[in-house]
């Protein structure tokens, strides 16, 4: 349904951006050319009365998006994770977006629970409170299970939220198409890809089964983490539009007075929240990508409790190793090695000068290491690093941008608990431990073992694959240089050797 019918929706959006002053902020963030700025002013100024004025106490960007409604709030939150797209200044403004809206009625919540779980509410929960929190997509109720008497949190999607989001996302796609058609210079920002990414995030959050699965996987990964706890998913009381989890009791991590009154050591908490995040990112490659104070509590026993698993980050094993080597190189101030890692990983084009890149990295690292401990920031280091790598032709890597944004948030949480925390001192043992376990002879032996086991599974098929390759080479005309036969024989021999080697390894393991 993407088409001109969205023009009115976009006109209202533009009018609100102009009326709140957000239009100028956005044009500045994208370094828009003068002609586009004049055009936006000419079009936006006469119709600004059609827009919402929002809350004047808010910064312009957050004021506009909050006034425009749930889909725009969520879009702003997603863009706050992409400073590579919106710039650092606008990303900071968007990061403080408060995802809070008036709650919907208890009757609507009851109807949603009964329709989704196909049972009367009283047969599931002996108690079901008014909403304790309400956001753009869902609201949360405190309840008690009939079967076990356990206290739980019940998350319920807003009525009609899927349809409302679908309309706004449809308008976003139309806007992206217009931008790409009318302004070729903006195509480099790939607006359609940005909207597609947002669409995927929203679809994930509008199906609470996916959030429950994320919580379950995160719990399995972190089961042995000392001083860290997660609510338990109640699968029998959860569905697409309703999710039930055990209730997380504790003091909000952002309430220092409550933490002090409960006798918690804030210095220890600050160090632990940072180390937990690094462990999850490096060890597991799966981390909570929204670890602000609103999603963290401290249990009476001192455990840090995380909840709200709508936004999770994933990094594959190879990228984790590269990232760890880069961090470790900066910790050791070995800028030549950091530069070499970028080239080895293919992040920087091979035609660039590695020594020149190393000097650029030194210009990034040395000023930071010259700061006082309470000013050293790993998030700032990564931000500067991305600026340098972009100048040397490195393509944007979304997973690292999300990691960097989360690192900034986690550092902020740690410093709010302990302003004098030394980020490098806390991070160093985590990074060194990962390096020891995942780089070097032991890691190489483990990788070869995994490769052998994979080849062993394909062992019975290798002869047939080689035969098919040889048949294709016979049937197809050979190139003048005669490389086809040689390649077939080479790959066939290699496959045979690998198959025999894999079988031998598998036999030794089994024996």
The per-residue pLDDT for range 471-480, each reduced to its tens digit, is 776 666 555 5
**Range with lowest mean pLDDT among 290-299, 361-370, 390-399, 489-498:** 489-498
Beta bridge partners of 364: none
Q: What angle do CA 8, 9, 11 make, to 5 degrees?
A: 60
Taking only the tens place, the pLDDT of each residue in 357-383 is 999 989 888 877 666 656 667 666 777
**Cβ within 8 Å of residue 288, ≥6 positions away:** 218, 277, 280, 295, 306, 309, 311, 312, 313, 406
- Does residue 8 carry a pLDDT above 90? no
Cβ contact 506:456 at 8 Å: yes
Better-scored residue on pLDDT, 440 or 331: 331
Per-residue b or e along 126-155, where b marks 16 or more CB atoms closer than 10 Å to that residue's CB: eebeebebbbbbbbbbbbbbbeeeeebbbb
> Which of 250, 256, 254 is CA-nearest to residue 298?
250
The residue with greater pLDDT, 99 or 153, is 153
- Under the phi-then-psi rule, with left for phi > 0, alpha for psi from -120 to 50, and beta for the rest, what region is 143? beta
In this structure, the number of other CB atoms found within 10 A of the CB of residue 315 comes to: 21
Which residues are 288's β-sheet partners? 312
Between CA 384 and CA 381 the distance in angstroms is 5
**Sign of the alpha-carbon torsion through 202, 204, 209, 211:** negative
Q: Residue 20 pLDDT > 60, yes or no?
A: yes
Query: For residue 504, what pLDDT band results from cuts at 50, 70 and 90?
Result: very low
- Residue among 53, 43, 99 at smallest CA distance from 72: 99
> Which are the catalytic amino acids?
290
Highest mean pLDDT, choosing among 96-110, 352-366, 416-430: 352-366
Q: Look at 39-53, 180-194, 496-510 and tell me which has the smallest mean pLDDT.
A: 496-510
Distance, in Å, from the CA atom of 6 to the CA atom of 4, rounded to the nearest integer, reads 5
pLDDT at 474: 64
Give the pLDDT band of residue 328 (cuts 50, 70, 90). Answer: confident
Confidence of residue 31 (pLDDT cuts 50, 70, 90): low
Distance between CA atoms of 226 and 276, rounded to whole angstroms? Answer: 9
- φ, ψ of residue 129 in degrees (nearest 5): -80, 165
| Nearest alpha-carbon partner for 10 in 23, 25, 24, 28 | 23
Q: Cβ neighbours of residue 379 under 8 Å, at least 6 residues apart?
A: 404, 405, 407, 408, 411
- Determine contact, residues 186/167, Cβ cutoff 8 Å: no
Average pLDDT over residues 424-448: 76
CA distances from 180 to 1, 173, 177, 189 (A): 18, 11, 5, 9
The pLDDT of residue 376: 66
Return the minimum-mean-pLDDT range out of 184-193, 236-245, 332-341, 403-412: 184-193
pLDDT at 506: 47
For position 152, what pLDDT does the model report? 97
Higher pLDDT, 113 or 28: 113
Averaged pLDDT, 410-422? 86
Beta carbons within 10 angstroms of residue 356's beta carbon: 11
| 18: Cβ contacts below 8 Å, ≥ 6 apart | 40, 44, 45, 47, 48, 51
- Give yes or no for residue 425 having a pLDDT over 70: yes
Strands (E), 41-150: 125-134, 138-145
pLDDT score of 100 more than 90: no
Residue 102 pLDDT exceeds 70: yes
Residue 509: its pLDDT value, please? 45
Put residue 304 in one of left, alpha, beta given phi > 0 → left and psi -120 to 50 → alpha. Answer: beta
Task: Give the separation between CA 181 and CA 171, rounded to whole angstroms.
Answer: 15
CB 132 within 8 A of CB 140: yes
pLDDT band at 455 (very low <50, low <70, confident <90, very high): low
Whole-number average pLDDT of the chain: 80
Contact 502, 453 (CB under 8 A): yes
483 has a pLDDT exceeding 90: no
- pLDDT bin (cut points 50, 70, 90) of residue 423 is confident
pLDDT of residue 507: 45
Please determine, for residue 508, whether its predicted confidence score (pLDDT) is greater than 50.
no
Q: What CA–CA distance (Å, rounded) separates 163 from 203?
A: 12
**Count of all residues that appear for the chain in the document:** 511
Q: How far apart are CA 296 and CA 217, in angstroms?
A: 18
Whole-number pLDDT of residue 63: 83
- Tell me the pLDDT tens digit for each residue of 260-293: 999 999 999 999 999 999 999 989 999 998 888 8
- pLDDT tens readout for residues 63-79: 888 888 888 887 787 77
Which strand (E) or helix (H) includes residue 23?
helix 22-29
The answer to whether residue 503 scores a pLDDT higher than 70 is: no
Span 94-98, average pLDDT: 66
pLDDT number for residue 366: 83
* Range scoring the smallest mean pLDDT among 32-36, 83-87, 330-334, 504-508: 504-508
Give residue 189's pLDDT: 58
């Amino acid at each position: 349904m993407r088409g001109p019918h969205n023009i009115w929706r976009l006109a209202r959006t533009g009018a609100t951006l102009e009326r709140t002053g957000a239009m100028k902020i956005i044009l500045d963030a994208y370094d828009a050319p003068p002609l586009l700025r004049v055009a936006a002013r000419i079009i936006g100024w006469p119709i600004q009365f059609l827009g919402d004025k929002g809350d004047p106490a808010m910064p312009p960007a957050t004021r506009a998006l909050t006034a425009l409604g749930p889909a725009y709030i969520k879009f702003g939150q997603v863009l706050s994770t992409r400073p590579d797209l919106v710039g650092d200044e606008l990303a900071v403004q968007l990061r403080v977006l408060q995802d809070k809206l008036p709650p919907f009625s208890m009757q609507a919540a009851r109807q949603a629970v009964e329709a989704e779980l196909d049972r009367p509410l009283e047969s599931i929960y002996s108690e079901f409170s008014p909403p304790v929190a309400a956001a753009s997509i869902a609201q949360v109720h405190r309840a008690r299970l009939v079967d076990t008497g356990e206290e739980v949190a019940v998350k319920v999607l807003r009525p009609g939220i899927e349809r409302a989001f679908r309309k706004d996302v449809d308008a976003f796609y139309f806007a992206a198409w217009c931008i790409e058609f009318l302004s070729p210079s903006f195509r480099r920002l790939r607006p359609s890809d940005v909207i597609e990414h947002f669409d995927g995030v929203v679809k994930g959050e509008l199906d609470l089964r996916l959030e429950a699965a994320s919580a379950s996987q995160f719990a399995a990964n972190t089961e042995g983490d000392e001083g860290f706890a997660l609510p338990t998913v109640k699968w029998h009381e959860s569905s697409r539009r309703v999710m039930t989890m055990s209730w997380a009791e504790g003091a909000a991590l952002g309430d220092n007075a409550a933490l002090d009154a409960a006798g918690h050591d804030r210095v220890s908490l600050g160090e632990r929240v940072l180390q937990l995040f690094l462990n999850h990112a490096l060890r597991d490659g799966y981390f909570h990508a929204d670890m602000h104070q609103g999603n963290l509590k401290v249990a009476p026993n001192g455990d840090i409790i995380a909840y709200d698993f709508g936004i999770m980050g994933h990094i594959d094993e190879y990228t984790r190793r590269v990232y760890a080597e880069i961090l470790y190189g900066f910790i050791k101030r070995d800028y030549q090695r950091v530069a070499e890692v970028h080239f080895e990983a293919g992040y920087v084009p091979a035609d660039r000068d590695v020594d020149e890149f190393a000097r650029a990295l030194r210009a990034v690292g040395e000023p930071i290491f010259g700061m006082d401990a309470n000013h050293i920031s790993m998030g700032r280091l990564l931000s500067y690093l991305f600026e340098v790598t972009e100048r040397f032709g490195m393509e944007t890597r979304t997973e690292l941008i999300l990691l960097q944004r989360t690192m900034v948030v986690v550092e902020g949480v740690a410093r709010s608990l302990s302003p004098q925390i030394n980020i490098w001192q806390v991070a160093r043992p985590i990074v060194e431990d990962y390096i020891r376990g995942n780089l070097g002879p032991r890691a190489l032996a483990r990788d070869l073992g995994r490769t052998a086991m994979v080849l062993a599974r394909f062992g019975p098929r290798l002869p047939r694959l080689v035969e098919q390759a040889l048949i294709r080479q016979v049937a197809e005309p050979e190139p003048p240089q005669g490389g086809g036969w040689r390649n077939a024989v080479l790959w066939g021999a290699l496959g045979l050797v690998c198959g025999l080697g894999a079988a031998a390894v598998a036999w030794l393991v089994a024996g």
